[in-house]
Amino acid sequence: MITKEYIITSAQGIHARPATTLIRLTKSYKSVISIKKTDKIVRLNSILNILSMAIKGGETITILIEGDDETIAAEAFDHFFNEELKAL
């Protein structure tokens, strides 16, 4: 299992557009991918799961990735949170 922490750089946090992008990214991999904020963990397979986290800009979240392609998936999520999220 790979766990990575990210600080949300988008001032709007994770709203519908980035949540949709996260779901598409998750579906590209066989690994089980979840998001954790404080003590709440949800799978990244539903927009409602993601939006229920109410993730705001500046907050820290953790991505949990477990599966055969977890290393490749972790690289893709690094790119999303460090580069793409700023533009959404």
Catalytic residues: 15
Q: Of 28, 26, 81, whose CA–CA distance to 55 is shortest?
A: 81
Beta bridge partners of 3: 64
Tell me how far apart the alpha carbons of residues 56 and 84 are, in angstroms, rounded to a whole number.
16
